[in-house]
């Protein structure tokens, strides 16, 4: 049985077949109130209105029950919130606003009193670090269920702060539960404006136009997975555009729409104040679908073009290796191919590269690294690099450091480990899950020859590799990730006269010249055992604002696995054991200090 009445559909007492009935969605705006424009298939549950275009599905009792059970299970999992955060206490006595605060919200910001009460907006005096004194603040309280999770304080001088040590969660997150659509804003007043315009499922990001969306992770399955439509209604400045793109990347372009507020309005509250509730409602209802993939005009890219004009080309993400940063910086949406003969330290160097990017730029990492099995061995190496200490008792590795390392790794690093066939498409599907569910921004495939490669009948190796590299490039662009692939070179023969093995180049990667041709970055790692130095050659950087390429020299520290920058002499008159200098050994702990309040 299907309960059509729950979806406001009158099937006029029938139990099967197809019928026409009145569409309650467009009835209020229809002149002909008797027109039966809604076609209903009672057996399948499909409903379609030929007037307003409404198209929806009415589930049967079993589907409703299963959905309710899934939702209940998700809510139970969501209820197990992290325990290490501070929990502020809500004081119901402070729900009475002063006359000045109420007039500012109601008259200046046009937020109705009913919305103020519904969102439990309060007021209190709070010390603000920007002014170094106590100020009278409006308090936007972040609830999950009946539990106060966080509070954002906003003073009259437009100073902001949140509760130190409290968890970041979306504002008004409970409104999303059980819904099929939601609106995402950049600020609490914008969310309140949409609620004033009659929308129910409305949230705001907790930290403004910050592209780090790790606060989404805990709510992806429980609150966002079943949403059919997500309206992104953030600010239209350059920071808001970056946030918009991050949200689309995480939530999926296929179900996202974008709001445009019109001239002289950058957010929902400005539009509400200028044009009123009805106009704001129309603007949100007319949110445009994300442009078709692969088709762009200058109009589609106006925001990005303007931001580029205003801000210019900036360098990419730096690693903190000064010599490397002079020749190469990194940008997401790109692919990196790393090669070198076996034993040259490719994987070790890549591990440190991605850790440095993660620590400096909060880019979470996903590994598909079959050679690092069992995975716990790989975590051991990462802990040594993070802490600067050998992973062993009585070697400076304390219980506290180990606990902090584990916490950092759990939050920032994931591994893909598959049984059976590990075809590239299967690994890429898992990598997509890491992007969506965990917010990974770096994916490392190490090495390429551990994939199960299955060329199509009649397909040459060169054709297969070309298609595979196209998939990698498309994935990096679509999910705005830095995709790093470690690939082995072909066998390099020694020079019969000198006995020296030539340096590996990108064109020497086994299988195809496309490893160089299709790379955004091409990197070769070479270990000179005689001199005791590792040279990293950046043979290709596709865009000149990201670097010009070159070579950087390192000394490998066997204690903690770090690569230490050094200076290398190429003067043949200098003895081999004297050619490396300027090495500064680094035993500092790289783990971020845990805040204690």
What pLDDT was estimated at residue 74? 59
Contact present, 509 and 487 (Cβ < 8 Å):
yes
The chain-wide mean pLDDT, for the chain, equals 88
Per-residue pLDDT for 76 more than 70? Answer: no
Comparing 184-193, 307-316, 498-507, 538-547, the range with the smallest average pLDDT is: 307-316
Quickly state the pLDDT bin for 394 (edges 50, 70, 90).
confident
Instruction: Report the alpha-carbon distance of residue 393 to residue 219 in Å, rounded.
Output: 38
Per-residue pLDDT for 584 more than 90? Answer: no
DSSP 295: -
| pLDDT tens column, 230-274 | 999 999 888 888 899 889 988 988 899 999 998 788 899 999 999
Instruction: Report the alpha-carbon distance of residue 180 to residue 228 in Å, rounded.
Output: 5
Instruction: Give the global pTM.
Output: 0.63
Segment 505-513 mean pLDDT: 87
What pLDDT was estimated at residue 77? 55
Quickly state the pLDDT bin for 60 (edges 50, 70, 90).
confident
Contact present, 241 and 302 (Cβ < 8 Å):
no
DSSP-assigned beta bridge partners for residue 536: 525, 552
% of the chain surpassing 70 pLDDT: 92
What pLDDT was estimated at residue 596? 39
Per-residue pLDDT for 421 more than 70? Answer: yes
Backbone torsions φ then ψ of 227, nearest 5 degrees: -70, 135
What pLDDT was estimated at residue 209? 80
What pLDDT was estimated at residue 75? 60
| pLDDT tens column, 460-492 | 999 999 999 999 999 999 999 999 999 999 887
| pLDDT tens column, 514-568 | 999 999 999 999 999 888 999 999 999 999 999 999 999 999 999 999 999 999 9
Instruction: Report the alpha-carbon distance of residue 108 to residue 368 in Å, rounded.
Output: 54
Query: Which 3-state string (H, E, C) describes 320-359?
Result: CCHHHHHHCCECCCCEEEEECCCCCCHHHHHHHHHHHHHH
What pLDDT was estimated at residue 597? 33
What pLDDT was estimated at residue 101? 93
Segment 356-370 mean pLDDT: 95
Backbone torsions φ then ψ of 133, nearest 5 degrees: -155, 170
Instruction: Indicate the Cα dihedral angle 394, 399, 404, 408, nearest 10°.
Output: 70
Per-residue pLDDT for 358 more than 50? Answer: yes
- Nearest to 178, CA basis, from 78, 109, 316: 78
Strand order in the sheet with 288-289: 202-204, 181-185, 229-233, 256-258, 288-289
What pLDDT was estimated at residue 13? 87
In 43-145, which ranges are continuous DSSP H helix? 61-79, 99-103, 113-118
| pLDDT tens column, 136-186 | 999 999 999 889 999 999 999 999 999 988 999 999 999 999 899 999 999
Segment 31-40 mean pLDDT: 91
Comparing 17-21, 305-309, 439-443, the range with the smallest average pLDDT is: 305-309
| pLDDT tens column, 39-51 | 999 988 998 989 8
Query: Which 3-state string (H, E, C) describes 147-176?
Result: EEEEEEEEECCCCEEECCCECCCCECHHHH
What pLDDT was estimated at residue 36? 92
What pLDDT was estimated at residue 310? 67
Parallel, antiparallel or unpaired: strands 288-289 and 256-258: antiparallel
Residue 261, both tokens: 């507020």
């Amino acid at each position: 049985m299907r309960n059509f009445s729950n979806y406001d559909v009158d099937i006029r007492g029938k139990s099967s077949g197809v019928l026409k009935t009145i569409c309650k969605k467009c009835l209020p705006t229809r002149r002909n109130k008797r027109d039966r424009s809604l076609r209903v298939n009672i057996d399948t549950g499909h409903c379609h209105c030929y007037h307003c275009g409404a198209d929806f599905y009415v589930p049967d009792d079993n589907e409703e029950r299963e959905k309710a059970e899934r939702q209940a299970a998700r809510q139970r999992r969501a209820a197990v919130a992290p325990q290490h955060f501070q929990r502020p206490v809500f004081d119901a006595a402070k729900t009475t606003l002063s006359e000045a605060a109420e007039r500012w919200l109601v008259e200046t910001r046009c937020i109705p009193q009913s919305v103020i009460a519904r969102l439990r907006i309060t007021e209190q005096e709070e010390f603000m670090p920007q002014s170094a004194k106590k100020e009278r603040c409006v308090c936007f309280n972040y609830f999950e269920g009946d539990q106060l999770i966080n509070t954002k304080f906003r003073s009259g001088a437009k100073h902001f702060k949140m509760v130190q040590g409290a968890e970041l969660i979306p504002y008004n997150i409970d409104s999303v539960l059980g819904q099929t659509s939601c609106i995402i804003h950049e600020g609490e007043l914008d969310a309140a404006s949409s609620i004033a315009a009659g929308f129910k499922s409305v949230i705001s990001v907790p930290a403004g136009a910050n592209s780090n969306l790790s606060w989404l992770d805990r709510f992806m399955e429980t609150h966002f997975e079943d949403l059919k439509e997500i309206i992104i209604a953030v600010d239209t400045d350059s920071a808001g555009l970056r946030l918009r793109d991050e949200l689309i990347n995480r939530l999926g372009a296929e179900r996202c729409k974008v709001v445009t507020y019109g001239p002289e309005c950058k957010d929902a509250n400005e539009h509400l104040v200028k044009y009123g509730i009805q106009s704001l409602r129309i603007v949100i209802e007319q949110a445009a679908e994300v442009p078709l993939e692969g088709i762009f005009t200058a109009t589609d890219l106006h925001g990005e073009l303007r931001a580029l004009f205003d801000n210019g080309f900036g360098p990419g993400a730096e690693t903190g290796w000064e010599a490397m940063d002079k020749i190469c910086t990194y940008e997401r949406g790109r692919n990196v191919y790393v090669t070198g003969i076996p034993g040259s330290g490719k994987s070790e160097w890549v591990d440190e590269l991605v850790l440095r990017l993660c620590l400096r730029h909060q880019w979470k990492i996903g590994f598909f690294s079959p050679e690092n099995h069992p995975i716990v061995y790989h975590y051991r190496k990462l802990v040594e690099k993070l802490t600067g200490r050998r992973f062993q008792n009585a070697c400076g590795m304390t219980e506290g450091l180990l606990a902090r390392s584990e916490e950092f790794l759990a939050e920032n690093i994931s591994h893909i480990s598959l049984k059976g066939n590990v075809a590239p498409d299967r690994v890429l599907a898992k990598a997509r899950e890491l992007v969506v569910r965990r917010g990974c921004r770096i994916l490392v495939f190490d090495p390429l020859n551990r994939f199960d490669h299955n060329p199509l009948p009649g397909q040459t190796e060169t054709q297969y590799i070309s298609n595979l590299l196209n998939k990698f490039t498309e994935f990096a662009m679509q999910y705005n990730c830095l995709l790093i692939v470690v690939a082995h070179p072909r066998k390099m023969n020694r020079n019969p006269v000198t006995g020296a093995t030539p340096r590996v180049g990108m064109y020497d990667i086994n299988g195809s010249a496309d490893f160089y041709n299709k790379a955004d970055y091409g990197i070769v790692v070479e270990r000179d055992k005689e001199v005791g130095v590792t040279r990293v050659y950046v043979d290709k950087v596709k865009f000149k604002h990201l670097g010009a390429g070159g070579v950087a020299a390192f000394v490998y520290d066997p204690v903690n696995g770090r690569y230490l920058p050094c200076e290398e002499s190429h003067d043949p008159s200098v003895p081999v054991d004297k050619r490396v200098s300027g090495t500064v050994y680094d035993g500092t702990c790289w783990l971020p200090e845990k805040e204690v309040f």
